[in-house]
Amino acid sequence: MFSKSCEYGLRATIYVAEQSSLGNKVGLKAIAEAIDSPEAFTGKILQTLTKNNIITSIKGPYGGFIIEDYQVKKLKLSEIVKVLDGDKIYTGCGLGLKQCNEKSPCPLHYKFIEIREQLKNMLEENTLHDILYTNGVKNLLWLKR
């Protein structure tokens, strides 16, 4: 459902938020390794996220990427998805067809409407903080999978 850049962008943002909560700035190479993404591709994604104020880039020998704690608490997953994929996830065809609409629906059209609505609600109702802390306990095992 998400583009590859959006998948990696979500993973990178969650990872940077997690590391920031531990007081760590994290570099491009470490992020790419942690999220299992090509370094150059990760760099472009991080550039987009930085340009759109999702993450902060600190330059210099002691630099890296961070997300401020206040931002972790308020940043909704839908904001990250919007920056990387736009709104096509909410409007696009479930089969990826260009000509799918009410007048000319694909076989999944009406079933996919419900799924898109549930996905939209999940992305709009959850912040990075909600994702990092499950039942109030920090979830540090997600990258080990």
> The whole model's pTM is what?
0.87
Q: List the structure tokens of 133.
A: 């802390």
What is the C-alpha to C-alpha distance for residues 37 and 15, in angstroms, rounded to an integer?
Answer: 13
* Residue 91: per-residue pLDDT: 81
CATH label of the domain that carries residue 140: 1.10.10.10
Number of domains in the chain: 1
92-109 residue pLDDT tens: 888 888 888 889 999 988
Residue 37 exposed, middle or buried by CB count within 10 Å (0-12, 13-18, 19+): buried
* Boundaries of domain holding 92: 4-144
Size of the chain in residues? 145
86-145 residue pLDDT tens: 988 888 888 888 888 889 999 988 888 889 999 999 999 999 999 888 655 465 555 554
SS3 label, residue 3: coil
